[in-house]
Amino acid sequence: MAVRVVKVVRPALRVVGPHSSWAVLVGLWVTTVHLVRNLAGFARGRQDFTVHFPEQRFMQPPAMRGMPVLVRMENGKERCVACGLCEWACPTTCITIYPAETADEVERYPEVFDIDMSRCMFCGLCEEACPEEAIVMSRQVEISSYSRRGSLWHKVDLLVPEDRLKTRIDFLRGEYEFPPAGPQVPANDRGK
Ligand code: SF4
Ligand code: SF4
């Protein structure tokens, strides 16, 4: 087998130019200017937009796609009719549904509805595929766990009352009323 030798040409370090210690000094200078400018702004009373998590929470906009959750209706039952479209649409095959029959008007419900959050990429295709608005992308992003087993969310974990998802559902329907543009407020006051 022929061995192909590839010679990597590395530019020599110069005094000036993009590959030089001068470029490092310029970068440090830019950082220092921004640091001093920000400190001067805070001294003049400019507000701090840093969110001190977890004491403060940033209220995400309705277009934000957090983890997918299941809508729980007022009667306490899931809105999902176990049609399987979200399972089919999911590009990472992280949804598992076992349908079952019920005497209710909807006739079918998911006996098992699992989402493997370690594989979910928050694409929202399940939400788009659902004909019942039964699975929506929430604002929940704190879903880390210490084990793979902990990343497997079951139906009981996924069900969220409908009124808590109203903002997202209104947004999907094009009925969400965006607040009027105005002066910015500190992050911990946003969305209240
Ligand atoms: S958001 Fe995307 S990856 Fe996650 S469950 Fe839905 S379709 Fe699958
Ligand atoms: S597409 Fe909607 S109704 Fe169908 S199984 Fe998924 S969540 Fe349930």
- Mean per-residue pLDDT over the chain, rounded: 87
Distance, CA of 136 to CA of 122 (rounded, Å): 11
* pTM summary value: 0.73
Residue 100 structure tokens? 């079952």
Nearest residue (by CA) to ligand 1, atom 2, is 123
CA trace torsion 87, 167, 61, 44 (10° rounding): -160
**80 CB under 6 A from ligand 2?**
yes
Ligand 1 site residues (CB inside 6 A) read 68, 89-92, 94-95, 115, 120-126
Mean pLDDT lowest among 15-19, 23-27, 100-104, 176-180: 15-19
pLDDT-based confidence at residue 186 (cuts at 50, 70, 90): very low
The answer to whether 97 and 110 have CB atoms below 8 angstroms apart is yes
| DSSP assignment letter at 14 | B
For position 181, what pLDDT does the model report?
A: 63
Instruction: Report the Cα 41 to chain-centroid distance in Å.
Output: 31
Question: Whose alpha carbon is nearest atom 4 of ligand 1?
Answer: 120
Distance CA 74, CA 71 (A): 10
Indicate if the pLDDT at residue 65 is higher than 60.
yes
Q: Which atom of ligand 1 is nearest to the CA of 93?
A: 8
Give Cα separations from 81 to 8, 47, 119, 188 (angstroms): 60, 48, 23, 38
Ligand 2, atom 8, lies closest to the CA of 80
**Continuous H helices in the chain:** 21-43, 85-89, 125-129, 155-158, 166-173
Residue tagged 């997918």 (tokens): 68
pLDDT at position 135 is 97
Report which DSSP code applies to 40: H
Ligand closest in space to the Cα of 98: 2
User: Does 39 have pLDDT greater than 90?
Assistant: no
Residues 165 and 134: their CA atoms lie apart, in Å, by 11
Ligand 2 within 6 A of CB of 85:
yes
Give nearest CA residue, ligand 1 atom 8: 90
What pLDDT, on the 0 to 100 scale, is given for residue 46?
Answer: 75
Residue of higher predicted confidence among 165 and 183? 165
- Residue whose CA is closest, atom 2 of ligand 2? 130
108-146 tens-digit pLDDT: 999 999 999 999 999 999 999 999 999 999 999 888 899
- pLDDT at 1 (0 to 100): 64
Cβ atoms < 10 Å from Cβ of 91: 10
pLDDT at 61: 87
3-state secondary structure of 104: coil
Mutate to test the pocket of ligand 1, among 65, 70, 88, 92 (most ligand atoms within 8 A of CB): 92
Per-residue confidence (pLDDT) for residue 84, from 0 to 100: 96
